[in-house]
Structure 1
Amino acid sequence: MTTFPQITDDERIRRLQHPGRPVRIVLDTDTFNEIDDQFAVIYAMKSGTSVTVEALYAAPFYNELSESPLDGMEKSYQEILKIRQLAQREDIPVHRGSASYLPGADVPVDSDAARDLVQRALASSPDDPLYVVAIGAITNVASAILLEPEIINRIVVVWLGGHSLHWPDTREFNLAQDLHGSRLLLGCGVPLVLVPCMGTASHLLTTLSELETHMKHKGVLGQYLYDTYRNCSPDHYAYSRVIWDISVIAWLAVPEACPSIWVPSPRISEDFRWVNDPTRHQIRYIYHVNRDAVFRDLFNKIAEVK
């Protein structure tokens, strides 16, 4: 069984304060899975006063858009390359991630993404940690932690995963795809900012008409995001959609829009429900997002056409 470094409660709380300054991030994303990843990748690239994107990792996913986790990862990798070219940010490295989910509680899946994360994390320090922003199955990040547990002392993970603690279940796509990886993340002691989906990120609804007003004709990226949203549904009458993944970038870019509390890191039951355990270490838990403030920040940055 892997032994993980121990972090004191005071140190954990210090590391999980909002940094209040620009930070280095890597973004782990299942970009082909849904349209919200495209928004999040571009939001991160346009938030240069808050984050510097050091690398992008393709996460595995498996649903009706892919034939396997490997196929989902490869499609996400190609989608990241497309966005990087549109954004004229080909200086940002892109790495393929895991071809499968963790096969066991203590078994990593080796990949270029996991190895790159280990290398970048080891080059960081507790006083200047690397922020690992994850918006898909947590396989790449969990694998990196298993490959080199020391990185727990040098990273902060910001993850969109699971539903709110009061939700009847937490059978959410990111969390449920890789139960071993999700349990490892919540149990290993890594400093974690958890952004739930239903009940929190679910506030981030927008419509085609709103994007037509505030994104369409706002440069190549604004037009691309507008077109991506328009193509996601054949009928936009009385239709809105949650852009889930921008929530994690919002915590770094507009933290006042993402209030949080301290909670013990929950366990996950076999039937995908949160289990409260007051003996566990503390995590930062985002319990709400101010939808208007987040979209205002995103629209303003998209409007800064260069």
Structure 2
Amino acid sequence: MIAFPKLTEQELLDRIRIPSEGKLNIFLDTDTYNEIDDQFAILYAMLSPERLCLKGISAALFFNDRSASPADGMEKSYREILKIMDFLGKDPEGFVFRGCTEPLADEEVPRESLACDAIIAEAMKASETDPLYVVGIGACTNIASAILKAPEIIRRITVVWLGGNIFDWPDNKEFNLSQDSLAGKVLFDCGVPMIQIPAFGVTGFLLTSVPELEACLSGANPVCDYLVENVKSYSQDHFAWSKPIWDVGAIGYLINPDWAESKACPAPIIAQKDRYAFDPRRHLIRSLITIDRDKVFKDMFQKLRDCRK
């Protein structure tokens, strides 16, 4: 049985409180090709150097009608990340990493990947007082595997994971969690300092529409035009249609935690694939309750408009 480091309640509270000033070191783990929101999130993070120091990006697996398998989803996500790097004229060498190709089969056995090793390497450069924020906006296989492979990084990282729904949602049928529920269980059980950003109930309200995107972004630069066309291609009917840009919630919260309401609470238990269970004796995590959609989008849209290669 893996012996995970145990942080005190005060240590956890300190680590799950995002400082309002200074720069944060982050590592972004993303299933970029799965939808059309990860592209916004990657660009938003990269265009916020005044607040975020991005140490690396890894491709997370996914399996749905946009991929032939979890491995294919990871590879498509990897190539989509490279496309975004090219838009910005950034060299991906040593910065973008392929992730795990299969979900966990055992909650004590990590999957091997370059992404897992990169997360560990960056975490070991961090400290308890200046942690690495490992930001997951997809299945958390890469993050969970890094923790299983090197449990000591728990003292050097804070995980910010967009996964699961709010606790009083009727169910916990959420894409990122369902892609690897064992990995989600690892995150909630291991005691790592963790900030959960729920999908339904929080980031599901980060909605935009084609008319808004055309008004705010179209024609500003090639990056903006790509994002607008990518959203438009996601649906054939744009009449009275809106689309959640879920993943930008994680980036917006790190940029300014005052844009969200959150609470420290006992970590939920993944009792079943689509159900939470609760025990008040569990270690603390932070979970978001609301996020100010307009403040996030205004900041992001302005940075996208100002983007120059």
Match of 1:74 in 2: 75
2:162 is matched with which residue: 160, 163, 166?
Answer: 160
Quick one: which amino acid aligns to residue 80 of structure 1? I
More divergent stretch after superposition (39-48 vs 88-97): 88-97
Is residue 59–residue 98 contact of structure 2 (8 Å, CA) maintained in 1?
Answer: yes
TM-score using structure 2 length: 0.97
Q: Percent identity?
A: 44
Shift of residue 147, structure 1, vs aligned partner: 0.4
Note the C-alpha offset of 1:228.
0.9
Distance 2:223 2:255 in 1: 19
Q: How does 1:248-267 map to 2 (within 5 A)?
A: 248-267=250-269
**Following TM superposition, by how much is the alpha carbon of 1:257 offset from its aligned partner in structure 2, in angstroms?**
1.5
**What is the aligned partner in structure 2 of residue 3 from structure 1?**
3
Deviations 1:81-123 (A, max 9, x none): 0011102222571000001000111110000000111111111
Q: Deviations over 1:52-103 (max 9, x none)?
A: 1110100000111111111110010000000111022225710000010001
TM-score (norm 1): 0.98
* Partners of 1:221 and 1:90 in 2: CA distance: 17
How far apart, in 1, do the equivalents of 2:299 and 2:273 lie? 38
User: Comparing 112-121 with 253-262, which one deviates more in the overlay?
Assistant: 253-262
Matches within 5 A, 1:281-296: 281-296=283-298
CA distance 1:305–1:77, change in 2 (3 Å): closer
Shift of 1:218: 1.7
Go from structure 1 to structure 2 and tell me whether the alpha carbon gap of 1:274 and 1:99 turns closer, same or farther (over 3 Å shift). same
1:131 is displaced (CA, Å) by: 0.6
Structure 1 pair 271–44 and aligned structure 2 pair: CA distance change class (3 A): closer
Three-state SS of the structure 1 residue aligned to 2:196 is strand
TM-superposed deviation, 1:251: 0.6
8 Å CA contact retained: 2:178, 2:273: no
Please list the CA deviations of residues 228-256 of structure 1 after superposition, one character each: whole Å capped at 9, or x if unmatched.
11111111111000000001001111222
Q: Counterpart in 2 of 1:204?
A: 206
Deviation at 1:304, TM superposition (A): 1.6
Q: Deviations over 1:122-170 (max 9, x none)?
A: 1111011111000000000000000000000000110000011110111
Partner of 2:179: 177
Q: 2:261 and 2:6 mapped to 1: Cα distance?
A: 27
Match of 2:271 in 1: 269
Question: 1:231-242, aligned counterparts within 5 Å?
Answer: 231-242=233-244
The 3-state SS of whatever aligns with 2:159 is strand
Paired residue for 1:229? 231
What is residue 191 of structure 2 aligned with on the other side? 189
Q: How does 1:38-53 map to 2 (within 5 A)?
A: 38-53=39-54
Q: Which moved more, 1:241-250 or 1:262-271?
A: 262-271
Partner residue of 1:62? 63
Find the aligned partners of 1:110 and 1:35 in 2 and give their Cα distance. Answer: 27
Structure 1 residue 23 and structure 2 residue 24: aligned? yes
Give the Cα separation in 2 of the matches to 1:90 and 1:217.
25
Moved more, 145-154 or 271-280: 271-280
Question: In the TM superposition, what is the alpha-carbon distance from 1:271 to its structure 2 partner?
Answer: 4.8
Letter in 2 for 1:146: L
Structure 1 counterpart of 2:142, one-letter code: N
Match for residue 106 of structure 2?
104
- Residues 124-163 of structure 1 aligned to structure 2 (within 5 Å): 124-163=126-165
Q: What does the per-residue CA deviation read over 1:167-192, in whole Å, with 9 as the maximum and x for residues that have no partner?
A: 01111110111111000000101000
Secondary structure of the residue that 1:288 maps to in structure 2?
strand
2:87 alignment partner in structure 1: 86
Instruction: State the SS of the aligned residue for 1:287.
Output: strand
- Between the aligned partners of 2:54 and 2:78, the Cα distance in structure 1 is 16
Distance in 2 separating the partners of 1:237 and 1:246 = 24
Q: State the superposition RMSD in angstroms.
A: 1.0
Please list the CA deviations of residues 189-242 of structure 1 after superposition, one character each: whole Å capped at 9, or x if unmatched: 100010000000011000000001111112121111111111111111110000
Q: What SS does structure 2 have at the residue aligned with 1:56? A: strand
Cα distance in 1 between the residues matched to 2:63 and 2:121: 28
- The answer to whether the Cα contact below 8 Å between 2:39 and 2:227 also exists between their aligned partners in 1 is yes
